[in-house]
């Protein structure tokens, strides 16, 4: 099927995608859906009667975030997507031919401000790419890079939701304690080894009571959609502070996400088999359904002296060992209560080839092999002030592409 809105084959937001966002049009904030270069105001569609009666009560789209809509559940998600698909189909003129309404409801994306799409209650960061975990482990424990628990459970930690920001938000270089070289005492100052982390995340759209578990077979009822995640990392600060309780200041200063949330229905054609897991997971982590997806990912870096970004990494979401359903089931196995709008990040996604590593720590191997910027001849071991990092991702279909937009951030100097 095609839409009456023309979308080129390589555009990230075709008829088959319809990602959700929250946006500000100059007067009000609302929930929107992206198609081509446009965003369609779902709040106005609801008020005009274009959306299904199953979306009952107050206008859940008249908010600066997706939470109220997500909370309606999986059946309503499907109803709204079906209604939008029907309205945007090329042979349906109900919306297409209403010029007066379209003038108010259909905006060019460049004319609106894209907001943080979800009011995030909790943020969890996992560590679920085997190659990434092996790479990092081998730098410090070459004889035994994976910790004994790694293949038994999805390792993760609860991060800080308040510092998750939308793409385009500048990132201030963090400060903290670190232990340089062979120094005997730590020093305080700006992070010297600032890094990006190529990740993806999913949002939950259903709650469970405190004390109740969520099984892998129930995950589809909870997982609303996916987004790009750059979980910035201060490597030198982390190295000093992480023992014995793990990441703290090195990870909480900022996490950048795309303003677009791709619904799971749009990703269904790209679902692929889960990787083999040895040893077999415990019963509560076993999956009857495939929860791995073929999502192409890339990272680009642009210094202040460069005119265009340079791609420095290409990876794929299929490089995950632990999948979303397992991550959610593990988080809840102790009775943790999931909230509508929680964000669960995958952890850095690295492939086997060095060109597919998902962080500067790996790409430059602790800074020992700096990357050359071909346009200017500059080199980068880690991210410097003024540098901008861009994350992109897409699923390639036959004649169309389902994209996730962009997660970008520019580094500002530390504030001392």
Active site residue ranges: 132
Of the candidates 343, 345, 301, the residue with the CA atom closest to the CA atom of residue 322 = 345
Q: How far is CA 183 from CA 174, 178, 179, 180, 187, in A?
A: 21, 10, 6, 6, 9
How far apart CA 73 and CA 218 sit, in angstroms, is 13
Q: How far is CA 225 from CA 18, 70, 108, 155, 416, in A?
A: 11, 10, 23, 22, 39
Q: How far is CA 119 from CA 166, 218, 225, 342, in A?
A: 11, 23, 14, 8
How far apart CA 278 and CA 262 sit, in angstroms, is 31
How far apart CA 243 and CA 184 sit, in angstroms, is 17
DSSP 8-state symbol, 51: S
Sign of CA dihedral 267, 268, 269, 270: positive
């Amino acid at each position: 099927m095609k839409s009456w809105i023309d979308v080129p084959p390589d555009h990230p937001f075709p008829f088959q995608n319809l990602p959700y966002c929250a946006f500000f049009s100059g007067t009000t904030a609302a929930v929107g859906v992206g198609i081509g270069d446009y965003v369609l105001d779902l709040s106005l569609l609801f008020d005009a009667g274009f959306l299904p009666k199953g979306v009952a009560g107050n206008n859940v789209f008249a908010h600066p975030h997706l939470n109220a809509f997500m909370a309606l559940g999986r059946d309503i998600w499907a109803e709204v997507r079906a209604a939008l698909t029907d309205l945007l189909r090329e042979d349906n003129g109900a919306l297409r031919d209403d010029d007066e309404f379209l003038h108010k409801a259909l905006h060019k994306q460049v004319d609106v401000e894209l907001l943080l799409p979800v009011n995030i209650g909790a943020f969890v960061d996992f560590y679920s790419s085997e190659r990434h975990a092996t790479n990092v482990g081998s730098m410090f424990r070459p004889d035994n890079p994976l910790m004994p628990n790694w293949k038994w459970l999805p390792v993760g930690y609860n991060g800080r939701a308040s510092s998750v920001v939308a793409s385009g938000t500048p990132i201030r270089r963090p400060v903290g304690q670190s232990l340089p070289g062979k120094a005997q005492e730590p020093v305080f100052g700006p992070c010297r080894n600032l890094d990006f982390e190529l990740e993806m995340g999913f949002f939950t759209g259903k709650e469970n009571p405190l004390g109740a578990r969520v099984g892998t077979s129930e995950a589809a009822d909870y997982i609303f959609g996916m987004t790009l995640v750059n979980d910035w990392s201060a490597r030198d600060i982390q190295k000093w502070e992480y023992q014995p309780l793990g990441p703290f200041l090195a990870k909480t200063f900022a996490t950048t996400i795309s303003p677009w949330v791709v619904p799971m229905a749009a990703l269904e054609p790209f679902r692929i088999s889960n990787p083999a897991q040895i040893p077999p997971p415990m019963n509560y982590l076993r999956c009857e359904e495939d929860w791995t997806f073929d999502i192409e990912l890339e990272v680009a870096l642009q210094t202040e002296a460069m005119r265009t970004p340079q791609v420095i990494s290409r990876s794929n979401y299929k490089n995950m060992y632990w999948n979303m359903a397992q991550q959610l089931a593990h988080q809840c196995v102790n009775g943790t209560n999931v909230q509508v709008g929680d964000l669960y990040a995958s952890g850095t996604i690295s492939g086997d080839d060095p060109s597919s590593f998902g962080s500067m720590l790996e790409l430059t191997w602790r800074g020992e092999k700096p990357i050359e910027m071909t346009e200017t001849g500059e080199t980068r071991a880690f991210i410097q002030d003024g540098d901008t990092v861009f994350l992109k991702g897409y699923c390639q279909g036959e004649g169309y592409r389902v994209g996730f937009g962009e997660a970008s951030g520019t580094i500002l100097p530390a504030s001392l």
